A and B are shown apart, each in its own frame.
Chain A
Amino acid sequence: MTKPRTLFDKIWESHLVDKQDEETFLIYIDRHLVHEVTSPQAFEGLRMSGRKVRRPEATLAVADHNVPTTDRSQGIADPESRTQVEFLERNVAEFGIPYFPVTDIRQGIVHIIGPEQGFTQPGTTMVCGDSHTATHGAFGSLAFGIGTSEVEHVLATQTLIQRAAKNMRVNVEGKLPLGCTAKDIALAIIGKIGTAGGTGHVIEYTGSTIRDLSMEGRMTLCNMTIEAGARAGLVAPDDTTFEYLMGRPMSPKGAAWEQAVAYWRTLPSDPGAKYDKEVTLNAADIVPQVTWGTSPEDVLPITGSVPDPADVHDEQHRLSMQRSLDYMGLTPRTKLSDVKVQRVFIGSCTNGRIEDLRAAAQVAKGRKVAPGVNALVVPGSGLVKHQAEEEGLDQIFIDAGFEWREAGCSMCLAMNADKLEPEERCASTSNRNFEGRQGRGGRTHLMSPAMAAAAAVTGHLTDVRDLT
């Protein structure tokens, strides 16, 4: 009898090309996403060594980090951003890589467009020069972020040199309480295991709560896996996955579809498969989450208060907490729901999908953005934007006083014009609250789209459950 294997083991074993030594393997990469920020030096490397792209058709490129979210007909004003996008366009043309131009309706954040196009598929290996590649694990694809040297390696060889990861299982059981979303599960997990809790591991999410999540929710959860330090997140493919993928432009068609689904059904972990680490959460215990500090693990239920460094024994951790609070301009023991915000950002590859916009619109509907608050809604792709407009969500946001923008990364990392001013406080649906992430001196509180919309209409961090 063969040993029971995990989903990760199955994907890993089916991608081994060669063994370098006991720990180091050459693995095959099925899918490669490319964006403008982490690729120029990789293409330059290819050019300098006279190398070609091995499988241009296994690659998909898009500009997302630098693009403006306002009118694009005039091109990109910032010269450096424009150069990066122009370089990408030149590189994809020279190397024959499929590309969605900035003005194409399919343009959007790499991690939104991959699934949307059916480029992301179960059982594949998938990489991108971007840590949130973990998002695609929602489809049961082993997807992880790589550095630029590795981007070059994949372009040239369609392989990567990797060490096997350890298996970790995060099991979430039960019905998610009202007002809680996949984002709250993700933040609650990071709060529990810490930002290094998953280091060296691939996390497989299992349990009834996960099975009940939509693909959008699973993507949000897998997206945040990197913030728990893990290399990748995985959810076993099931009917929800297949339904989402069916009929997408790059999904298999006809007989190939049947063949693919039959294969995908063999992927879930075998009963009795062993994990190196296991964590269990009870969904019923989850309360809407917000971060208070400058690391995603600095997270608490919205019903809590800003922590007090005086309660921390370990000196390095106490100093780190003090530093975070100073940066965030927060006083220990302040109720989180008393913290006022000036900005709201709804978007990013974590929460820029249609379901996220629907959740935020539901809260915004018939309400007004609080005086003194500036709130942005940035759809994750042109297609998400289009769909939202079909559903009339744009009008709900605009009537409530939100700004309705073009697709891109936007204020998730503030490489374009959308950024916080020093000391401005933002309720954000993105994934990182690091110092300066949304603009130098800017203060980020991470939360779900519904919670961000609630903060927009009240002007302070708010328990969305109080608004219904």
Chain B
Amino acid sequence: MQKFTTLTGVAAPLPMINVDTDKIIPKQYLKTIQRTGLGKALFDEIRFNPDGSEKPDFVLNKPAYRKAKILVAGENFGCGSSREHAPWALLDFGITCVISTSFADIFYNNCFKNGILPIKLPQEDVDKLMEDAERGANAVVTIDLEKQEIRGPDGGCIKFDLDPYRKHLLLEGLDDVGLTLQKGSAIDDYEAKRRAATPWL
């Protein structure tokens, strides 16, 4: 997994609420057996017409945002299906940070497994960033994970919260299967205890 330290790039505004994972990546793309290659289908039905041509009004189709690295979105982002294809599609497109007032739990969790930083902020901060993002390519934003701050185009700075364990994993680009396997003996002990207490399992 890529380490996440700082990220500087254009932020795209998506002022929609309840953006569900079906919208981020519709089911016809879930037939893949790989993690990569989904970027071209990111936001498929709101980004493309049925004939495959682009919808010019959709933010990621506008020249200023075609290389956006950050997404600023409305509340309850990533709700619905657990598909990890949603963060895979964002990552493959090049978006590694999503900012919103709230995220659905599974999506939020899945982001960290893929080196994507989801940032939760109060409404007024999201409003401010949304406004900045409307300014397109002129509005380059820097995310500094170590310092837990977002530096805006006008020198403004917004602090964000993040739990230390997840921060550590992102900063180091760590895979948690490997970390957990180091705890093999704790798992063995637990299993032995559990077998005694609930032998029918």
Contact = CB atoms under 8 A, between A and B. Distances in A.
A87 B33 contact: yes
Contacts of A231: 105-106
A229 B22 contact: no
Interface string A175-196: 0000000000000000000011
Contacts of B87: 147
A200 B105 contact: yes
Given A40-B33, A145-B82, A159 B187 contact: yes
A327 B197 CA distance: 54
Contacts of A83: 31, 33
Interface in B1-35: 15-18, 20, 22-23, 26-28, 30-35
B114 A196 contact: no
Contact of B30 (A18, A157, A163, A415): A415
A131 B180 contact: no
Contacts of A163: 163
A152 B177 contact: yes
A434 B199 CA distance: 43
Given A28-B187, A49-B177, A263-B198, A149 B113 contact: yes
B105 A147 contact: no
A152 B37 CA distance: 20
B84 A38 contact: yes
Contacts of A256: 199-200
A434 B17 contact: no
B180 A124 contact: no
Interface string B102-144: 1011100110011000000000000000000000000000000
Given A81-B31, A316-B15, A259 B200 contact: yes
B17 A435 contact: no
Contact of B201 (A121, A146, A156, A159): A121
B170 interface: no
A145 B177 contact: no
A41 B34 contact: yes
B147 interface: no
Most chain A beta carbons < 10 A, residue from B32, B178, B180, B197: B180
A161 interface: yes
Contacts of A147: 82-84, 87, 106, 109-110, 113
A8 to B, nearest CB: 15
Contacts of B106: 131, 145-147, 231
Nearest to B83: A38
A196 B187 contact: no
A260 interface: yes
Contact of A415 (B27, B177, B183): B27
Interface string A15-58: 00110110110101010000001101100110001010010001
A268 interface: no
Interface string B178-195: 101101001100110010
Given A157-B187, A200-B105, A440-B26, 20 more contacts: A17-B186, A17-B190, A23-B163, A41-B84, A81-B31, A121-B200, A130-B82, A131-B80, A149-B113, A159-B187, A195-B76, A196-B75, A196-B79, A231-B106, A256-B200, A316-B17, A415-B30, A434-B23, A436-B22, A436-B26
13 contacts: A17-B190, A28-B194, A146-B106, A147-B109, A149-B113, A161-B165, A161-B180, A229-B105, A260-B200, A413-B22, A435-B22, A436-B26, A440-B26
